[in-house]
Amino acid sequence: MTEYRTLGRTGVKVSPLALGTMMFGPRGNPDHEDSIRIIHHALDSGINFVDTADVYSAGESETIVGKALAGGRRDDVVLATKFHGSLGDDPNERGNSRRWIIREVENSLRRLGTDRIDLYQVHRPEPETDFDETLGALSDLVHQGKIRYIGTSTFEPSAIVEGQWLAERRGRERVVAEQPPYSLLARGIEREVLPVVQRYGLGVLSWSPLAGGWLSGRYRTGAGQPTSSRSDRQAARFDISAPENAAKLAAADALAQLADEAGLTLVQLALAFVLEHPAVTSAIIGPRTFEQLESQLGADKVRLSQDVLDRIDEIVPPGTNLSARDTGYTPPSLTEPALRRRSARRSSY
């Protein structure tokens, strides 16, 4: 029986495993009927939290989710989606502006076949857009009944705090949840993000708990370079010859051995670890096939011993990201020279 958890301080009960739908559509599984079958099996197995985004297969993932929830299933699901990513050539068909939010929420509602979104999330920060503008637009949508709650994804601690400050000082609706990357190989959020969200009572919906497939069991020393649609799109993140990825490969080997000694699969160990942290509400699983879903169901019922958790800390120390690419977001202050070099700013005038 699923032991549901409370999403932050909202009172909403959600399953520890959330169904992520990024792999439904041309980006992963293009078969709508098969994808719907996977979604239905997840719901029948006790999952009541479904997460998608407008940019997943350019909206097709939302369409598939909408089909799966038709016929009376919508009311039993806590439905989350996201906005921010580019959906066209027009420079205004993206971002965190009021103009785009008000337009795009209608598109998501239409694709999802519903009249409300339970958790509407800002998919990534956008420093050039005043966060108060974003929260103002989202607050209006809450008041209109089109969304129930506001969330963020892959926000830095300072931005999380800013959101809480704006809600208090400007009278905006409060952000109630954060969706960060978190796995056995990417523990960086343990330093500040998770303590900050605990301090403010936010729920945490962690993405990539299997580290983008590194903890699926396919990445092992001597097995060669695995291929997948994800590694084709993000070759640098999965190239096992890169030094940071060699470190991930060594850690995956050690963790797989630990899982075997504990009588678990590596997938079970990885998901149980993420759910062990007291700040984490749910871990997002993102199956592409029915078999992948089956391998992940039930991991929320696994309890790791203190000895196993100590061994994990020895393999990947707390607060450590083995690869900087796994942070999910690098602020412009690091990527744009003009923001950190006076000479670069002068030459641009």
User: Which residues belong to the active site?
Assistant: 56
**At 104, is the secondary structure helix, strand, or coil?**
helix
Q: How far is CA 318 from the centre of its chain?
A: 20
Q: Checking phi first, is residue 102 left (phi over 0); if not, alpha (psi -120 to 50) or beta?
A: alpha
- Dihedral in degrees, nearest 10, Cα atoms 145, 146, 148, 154: -150
Q: How long, in residues, is the chain?
A: 349
Q: Which residues contact 286 (CB under 8 A, 6 or more apart)?
A: 20, 21, 22, 23, 208
Beta-sheet pairing, 49-51 with 17-20? parallel
- CA dihedral for 57, 218, 124, 116, sign (positive or negative): positive
CB environment 244-275: b (16+ within 10 A), e (fewer): bbeebbebbbebbebbeebebbbbbbbbbbbb
